[in-house]
């Protein structure tokens, strides 16, 4: 949970680097909260277009998570010594998404790189 909160705290920070653990824990909690929002939409009957469709709570949550998720993805690319613009490769059908997934799973550059210090040596604050 601390990594999710750290991602929200740095919601507009596009500089620096983020570890794999920070990135994937944020993705995990984002998925959990998205599923909870969908279930809540179904329970409250706030879905758009019938049962099982996206609802207002889910849509609000999704829009709120765009900027923090994008900032974290850019910092993750920085950790593997790639520009944040490299995320645009993900727009290439099939291969682009696979390549971004591989980079997100790759260990970061050891030591400092052009985007900052190695985040592996830093402590994650407990909230």
Contacts of 96 (CB under 8 A, 6+ apart): 89, 90
Q: Which pLDDT score, from 0 to 100, does residue 59 have?
A: 94
What are the domain boundaries of the chain? 2-112
User: How far apart are alpha carbons 120 and 20 in whole angstroms?
Assistant: 9
Nearest of 119, 44, 30 to residue 79 by alpha carbon: 119
CA distance 100 to 33: 23
What is the C-alpha separation between 126 and 20, in angstroms, rounded?
18
In sequence order, the β-bridge partners of residue 27 are none
How high is the pLDDT of residue 47?
Answer: 85
8 A C-beta contact, residue 10 and residue 71: yes
Regions of the chain where pLDDT drops below 70: 50-52, 122-127
Q: What is the pLDDT of residue 119?
A: 85
Return the pLDDT at 125. 61
């Amino acid at each position: 949970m601390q990594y999710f909160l750290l991602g929200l705290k740095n919601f507009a920070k596009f500089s620096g680097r983020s570890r794999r653990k920070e990135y994937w824990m944020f993705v995990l909690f984002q998925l959990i909260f998205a599923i909870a929002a969908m279930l809540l939409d179904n329970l409250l009957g706030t879905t758009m277009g019938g049962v099982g469709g996206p609802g207002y709570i889910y849509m609000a949550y999704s829009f709120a998570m765009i900027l923090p998720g994008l900032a974290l993805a850019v910092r993750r690319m920085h950790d593997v010594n790639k520009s944040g613009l490299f995320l645009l490769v993900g727009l290439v059908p099939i291969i682009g998404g696979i390549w971004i997934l591989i980079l997100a799973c790759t260990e970061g550059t050891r030591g400092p790189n052009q985007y900052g210090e190695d985040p592996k040596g830093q402590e994650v604050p407990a909230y």
